[in-house]
Structure 1
Amino acid sequence: MMVPTSTMDPEVQLRLPLDVPAEQDLLNQPVFPLIHAIKKDVEERIDASLSWDQLNAVDVNYSIFRPLVFKYAKLRNYAIVYACLVVRTHFIESASQDLAFAPLKLTRADACELLALKLLRRFTGNSDNPVDLFSVLTVSWDPLQGCPDSCMSDIREITGEDIRNADRVSALEIAISSEAKRFIASPLVQTCITDIYNGRVVFSAPATRGSILADNYKQRHVQVYDVHNTPWLDHYRLRVPRYRGIMEFVDFAILLFLFVLCLHNKSFSTMNWSEIVFIIFAFGFLLDELTAALEHGWDIYIQNMWNGFDLAFATIFIVYLGCRCRGLVKDDFWWNDLAYDILACGACILFPRLAFFAIKNNLIILALQGMIAEFFVFIMLAAVCFSGLLFTLWTLSRGSATWNLRKIAWLMTQVWFGNTFLSFTVAESFHPIFGPILMVMFAALSNTLLITIMISILSNTFARINEHASEEYLYQFAISTIEGVKSDALFSYQPPFNILALLFLYPLSTCLSPRQLHTANVFLIRITSFPQLIVIGVYERCFAPGSRFIATTKAAGSSMFDSVSRQFRLFESFMGTSRDDVMGAIFEIDVPPSVTNAFSTEDDREPGMEDSAEFGKAQEPDETRQGRPEIVLSPTPRRSRSRTSRTYREEQPPNSPLARLFGTVRQRAISAQGDALGDIRKIGEAMENLKEAAMPGDKLRQEIKELSERQARIETLLLTLTRGMRGEGNGSGSSARG
């Protein structure tokens, strides 16, 4: 129900949604039946393991995907892309459980991703409303929407819960969690993600059940942001991922400064002011990371490689705080010293984390996550393999005062990383016979074979990521962007003010109405983030691209440059001329057809190379017959064969997409038919001349017989070609009607 303009909240009036379907219409669109319909169609049509390139082949596209696109595009269901990606997630999960059919299920998962991409192009490409793209990708859907009661009871039995509504998730979040990197890297999806990142498009996802402090009072549809119709203290701009990234960089810089200051001013007996400020700021950092993880789920959170660094520092800080509290309570110097030593290890995380903000788009940084994962997996496998050797050496040296389990493990680690001579000098101390043999074998394996294997694995990982570097970067970019669009009220606060908001607003959320809680939340955000909001407002109104100040400055500078260049002609020799502008302008005007066709003739067109404006348009023939098409032959022998084939081509235009695509092959058959007709006419004339001459003899009869056989073969060939072309035309017509 629409609220009258006169009584509408002024904050809502500033952002009226564009032509987006009403929320009630979106709730009435079926999602559950759509998911199972797509799953059924994909399982019936994909029954072989295919690669991504094979799925994109022309024959597979026309036989499998094109009918599905036509079928589901007619529904005009905004949840169609979401449903395809949900089915993709199902096939990926089932592939890990059914290893025998894993390649087939992964192919079906790729088919769902490709179908989602084609439906997105079809759904938004034929729409006059550009907001359809953002609605399809950002509207959150309930997978149980439209589920019948019989199926709902079965779902309750499986889950063991009385579920009426599941968590609402958008298509973009499903694409990220299922790692649909090709879908995310497509231009349409990147257009949406880039506009969200820069703040040109504003939307807010509803807070999930995992949100710490939900503020769902004013849920807005997809909207285009207009800076001139918004207040200066627009608290929604704090959630723009671009500004959020800058503020995160400042927060990390402050955290690093407080970290260094805390370690510099160590106090073993009490906590000084620098340590207290660092602990408060670090708690705000931990709360911000916890909010980000609970809002969109841990599966999306861990996909971002930078969140791994944040989790590592959070773990170090929690261990430091536990040791520090124990040392202060018991007044134990050893625990206090251990706490500072543990905290010092956090420098290995904070310093590179801050540096990666400046070079996060580098290929080496993108490959670092995969290479580190492969390295640790390989190290763990090697440790398991050599654990048997560790136990053997410990058994052989039992009873010796020199070696214990810890010293043997440290010796093996040194040998593993290059100190091979140590294994030769102490080998006999384990056993005079088996000691040297075992240590030589271990040194050879660790320094030659295993190191070579590890280098090969890391090289292959880097090459694989390098091959898909653009997709990987766009995937990480999508994760960081979607993480910035949250409805949790704590996300709008900068550390450590989010702790204040949690302590102040969380108790009030139990006793205030949603409107009152929203009012208190907005007031507290504007108080704690007043400097940031002022800076953002000044930038967007005066210095952002497209702002009035920038446009006015450019216009004034351009007019001044034009006046100076007209007065001083030598100025252009230094500053350059405007020929680039002229070259760009000649392609922006509408050129009449008489100009574009000035140098073209009718004979310039080759078979199968029709004009794009006339491509696929059927031309009416002058005369038509039932059955075999009429072929007009000129009585003059000078008529060109190419002209004969061109006449036939004009009477039989291509009548299906495949026929137009493979028009060159058809024109070759038509040209061969014209050549055969010319040969028949010449043979007929030669036979008439021979009959008139009435030359006697066996030689003449033999020549006539050979000519007759040749004529019969040519007529048979001509009849076969004609029937084949007639069958192709009928097949193309039926496929077009289907």
Structure 2
Amino acid sequence: MSSLPVTQDDYNAASFKAPTPRQVLRVALNLKFLIDKVIPIDYDINQVTCQHSRILNHQVIQLTREACGGNRNDKESLRKYQSVLLFALLKVSGWYNELSVKELHNTELYKLRSIAAQHLCKIIIEFEENVDLHYLFLQMLLHRYSMNENDVDSEPLSVVELAADMHATIVIGSSGFQRCISWLWRGWIIQAPDEPTTFVRDATISSMSFKDHFSPERIKTPKYQNILQISFSILFLILYTLVVNEKDSTHVEPFDLAEVIFYCFTLGNLIDEAVKIYYIGFAYLAFWNVFNDTLYTIIGVSFVLRVVSLGLVSTKYSAESWDMLSYRILSCAAPFVWSRLLLYLESVQFVGLMLVVLKFMMTESIVFFVMLLLIMIGFLQGFIGLDASDGNIEIAGPIMRNLVMTVVGAGGFDTFKSFAPPYAAILWYFYCFIVTVILLNILIALYSNAYQKVVENASDEYMALMCEKTLRFIRAPDEYVFVPPLNIIELALKPLEYIISEKNSDRLTHFIMCAIYSPTLLIVAILEVRTAKRIQYNRMTKLQDDANESDEVWDLTDGFVDNGSNLFFDENNDGIHDTRVKNSRALKKQIEAERADPHFPVSPEWHKKVKKSVQPVQEGFQTGVGWELFDLYNQAETRYKKSENKVDELTQAVNELVTLVKELKMKQE
């Protein structure tokens, strides 16, 4: 029995009540005490993070669960408090990260403890994945919890959000975590409409009715929003190409259709950026946001100049001059427009990894540019001082230009040939040596280090990137999703909210969304109906919803037969029937082929030998001695038990002998 909210309809009936922030704090303090004792010294990291570690052994994992408290005789009580276990472990990991910065003499120990906390998260996630997947997803990973920190309750966060913010790749890389992200990405789990701290399963995913999936609500799905963004980005690129490369006259021409649509696209994206900055604040600003804002600024300046060229504003320059300047500025946006595609293609693993490498490189290069700036300012001041020594500052501009060009290898000594000899030459050669020999090699080393960090942990870094991308769509979900530039339509509908009733406004918005998204929703509905058949089949066979997605060679009973028929009708169980027929036929043929030769099948003893040849990994993990020493431990344990039995037998014999002696004495008396 579980109190999990499964869908939106039965969420209100769920009796789950989250632990209070003070209770969450106590759980975190208990876990910190445990990890402090379990990791007293700086162990080798592989001893802590390896599978079936002897340090994070079975007993430690059990103590980790018990740190949450609760009534051991009440399963619901245990689940209530253990639901915050992952959240508390990540908080403790964050504490250790802070301590590693504050107490540098123990930084390695604190980093190891932080990793240990994350590894415990991974172990628990992978265990719960095989016990209760929905409890793991809805209560442990996605429910938003708050902790009391210095008498102030923190902002509610889920484990998924906290792990992404901390860049906890160990946790993000666990299989259960990735399945949760996959379900969020597909829209199988959505945020409860009336409860911002809770997520529920979408009831429509298993419906085989076409009309249930032909709904604008499905556009909230991160996967479909991403596809729409990619489509609009490609269309934006095509429009930009038409606007820039189709100009074939020196005369000023009015806006054509391509230009109007192109500038509408830009306006929609500008509105989207402005709204997000308004609601989120400057914390929203990141590399790609600044990149996009720079692009939109260039296009905006070009648009203003284009308007001026049409004579709407009188100036002393000719319209042709303004028009030419407008197109030249717009042409400078080409690298930004093409590079912008990378942002929306980051879900492709190769592109995503390259973007992660780029991000790390940009972060590492901050040190280089700070050092370069300080050195350039110092040498610039020296050169200007030499120039001003005769009372006149004459070549400050060429000096600054030469210093900058030296960084890219295009500097020269010509500027300093007849300038304050020999002091200018000494300063110049000294500057060249520092920049070209020292600083540029430091930059190369930093870039190499950044690349190596990402490549060594490529899979986890890509999974972390996809986690962040998924969260961008669901962290602050809109009631109605209008993907830019369609948000211009949403903006146009805003005034109607003050004129008509809320109910009619919702109906109108729903109708408009159905109209503009109808091509997308048609494809979505067809695909989701086919997926719903497989989900229904999985539930009939007591499997998880994401089972049987592929037909593996080594499993004759997996996979799903989808003939694609009857998509527009509710009763369409053909795929389920065909899958059962396929599986039974495959098993029958395999058995017949194996029985064709009576000497072909292996004997039952072969399976027993295989089981005996397996190393005692699980037993070694539970005892804490490791599989390498378990046989020795088992022998010692067996001998100890035998010796105890012999001691017990000897003690019993001595007691019997004493009793007999007493009886003989009594008889003699």
TM-score with structure 1 setting the length: 0.64
Does residue 411 (structure 1) correspond to residue 402 (structure 2)? The answer is yes
Residue 282 of structure 1 corresponds to 266
User: 2:58 matched to 1:60?
Assistant: no
Deviation at 1:484, TM superposition (A): 2.8
State the match for 1:69 in structure 2.
Answer: 65
Any residues of structure 2 matched to 1:613-624 within 5 Å, and which? none
1:385 maps to amino acid: I
Partner of residue 222, structure 2: 241
Match of 2:409, SS state, is: coil
Alignment of 1:308-347 (within 5 A): 309-317=291-299, 329=313, 331=315, 333=317, 340-347=327-334
| CA–CA distance in structure 1, aligned partners of residues 430 and 227 of structure 2 | 54
Does the 8 Å contact 1:19/1:131 carry over to 2?
no
Separation (CA, whole Å) in 2 of partners of 1:609 and 1:19: 49
Q: Deviations over 1:121-172 (max 9, x none)?
A: 3444333xx322320355342416xx7xxx99x53xxxxxxxxx87543221
Q: 2:537 matched to which residue of 1?
A: none
Distance 1:543 1:306 in 2: 34
Partners of 1:585 and 1:36 in 2: how far apart?
62
380 and 323 in structure 1: CA distance in 2 versus 1, 3 angstrom threshold: farther
Q: CA deviation at 1:41?
A: 3.2
Match for residue 390 of structure 1?
380
- The equivalent residue for 2:563 is 549
Aligned pairs for 1:262-661 (under 5 A) are 262-264=243-245, 265=247, 274-289=258-273, 302=286, 307=289, 309-317=291-299, 329=313, 331=315, 333=317, 340-354=327-341, 360-362=348-350, 363-398=353-388, 403-419=394-410, 422-423=412-413, 425-485=414-474, 488-489=477-478, 492-505=481-494, 508=497, 512=501, 518-541=506-529, 548-550=562-564, 582=590, 595-597=603-605, 657-658=623-624, 661=627
Ranges in structure 2 where 5+ consecutive residues have no aligned partner: 71-77, 533-548, 550-559, 566-573, 595-600, 648-669
SS at match of 1:203: strand
Aligned partners of 1:38 and 1:83 also within 8 Å:
yes
- Give the corresponding residue for 1:196: 184
Shift of 1:243: 2.2
Aligned twin of 1:228:
208
For residues 666-723 of structure 1, the C-alpha deviation after alignment (integer angstroms, 9 at most, x for no partner) is: 367699x9xxxxxxxxxxxxxxxxxxxxxxxxxxxxxxxxxxxxxxxxxxxxx9x979
Contact 1:292/1:301 (<8 A) preserved: no
CA distance in structure 2 between the partners assigned to 1:25 and 1:434 by the alignment: 81
The alpha carbon displacement at 1:45 in A equals 3.6
Pick the structure with greater CA Rg.
1
Go from structure 1 to structure 2 and tell me whether the alpha carbon gap of 1:284 and 1:540 turns closer, same or farther (over 3 Å shift): same
The residue type paired with residue 471 of structure 1 is D
The 1:93/1:206 distance shift into structure 2, 3 A limit, reads farther
Letter in 2 for 1:430: F
Supply the distance in 1 between the matched residues of 2:46 and 2:314 (Cα, whole angstroms): 66
Q: Which residue of 2 aligns with 1:678?
A: none
Equivalent pair of 1:88/1:112 in contact (CA under 8 Å):
yes
TM-score, normalising length: structure 2: 0.70
Work out the CA distance in 2 between the residues paired with 1:99 and 1:270: 65
State how far apart, in whole Å, the 2-side matches of 1:330 and 1:103 are. 68
Q: CA separation in 2, counterparts of 1:529 and 1:85?
A: 40
Q: Give the direction of change, closer, same or farther, for the CA distance of 1:376–1:452 in structure 2 (3 Å limit).
A: same
Q: Distance in 2 between matches of 1:512 and 1:337?
A: 49
User: In the alignment, which residue of structure 1 is the partner of 2:570?
Assistant: none
Q: Distance in 1 between matches of 2:92 and 2:159?
A: 12
- Distance in 2 (CA, whole Å) between partners of 1:584 and 1:79 is 52
Classify the secondary structure of the residue corresponding to 1:494: coil
Q: Secondary structure at the match of 1:390?
A: helix
* Equivalent in the alignment of 1:120: 125
Between the aligned partners of 1:584 and 1:509, the Cα distance in structure 2 is 73
- Whether the 8 Å contact between 2:42 and 2:109 is mirrored in structure 1 is yes
Instruction: Say whether the 8 Å CA contact 1:366–1:472 is kept in structure 2.
Output: yes
With over 3 angstroms needed to count, the CA separation of the structure-2 counterparts of 1:401 and 1:191, relative to structure 1, is: same
User: Does the 8 A contact of 1:207 with 1:487 survive in 2?
Assistant: no
CA–CA distance in structure 2, aligned partners of residues 205 and 112 of structure 1: 30
Q: Is the contact between residue 142 and residue 168 of structure 1 (CA under 8 Å) also seen in structure 2?
A: yes
- The residue that corresponds to 2:166 in the other structure is 178
Amino acid in structure 1 at the alignment position of 2:463: L
| Pairwise CA distance, 1:252 | 0.6
Q: Which runs of 5+ in 1 are unaligned?
A: 1-14, 156-164, 209-215, 564-577, 587-592, 617-653, 674-718, 727-738
- CA 1:386–1:102: 2 relative to 1, 3 Å: same
Tell me the SS of whatever aligns to 1:60.
coil
Asked if structure 2 preserves the Cα contact closer than 8 Å seen for 1:323 and 1:336, the reply is yes
**Secondary structure of the corresponding residue to residue 200 of structure 2:** coil
C-alpha change, 1:599 and 1:550, in structure 2 (3 Å) is closer
Q: Is the 8 A contact 1:252 1:354 kept in 2?
A: yes
Give the Cα separation in 2 of the matches to 1:338 and 1:455. 38
Paired position in structure 1 for 2:32: 42
Residue 472 of structure 1 and its aligned partner are, at CA, apart by 0.8
Q: Amino acid of the residue matched to residue 195 of structure 1?
A: W
The 1:557/1:60 distance shift into structure 2, 3 A limit, reads closer
Cα separation, 2, equivalents of 1:91 and 1:300: 26
CA distance in 2, matches of 1:29, 1:520: 41
Shift of 1:408: 0.9
Secondary structure of the 1:430 match is coil
Q: CA deviation at 1:26?
A: 3.4
Contact 1:92 1:109 in 2 (8 A): yes
- Tell me the equivalent position of 2:552: none
User: 1 CA distance for matches of 2:99 and 2:633?
Assistant: 46
CA RMSD of aligned residues (A): 4.9
The 10-residue stretch of structure 1 (410-419 or 103-112) with the greater mean CA deviation from structure 2 = 103-112
SS in 1 for 2:368: helix
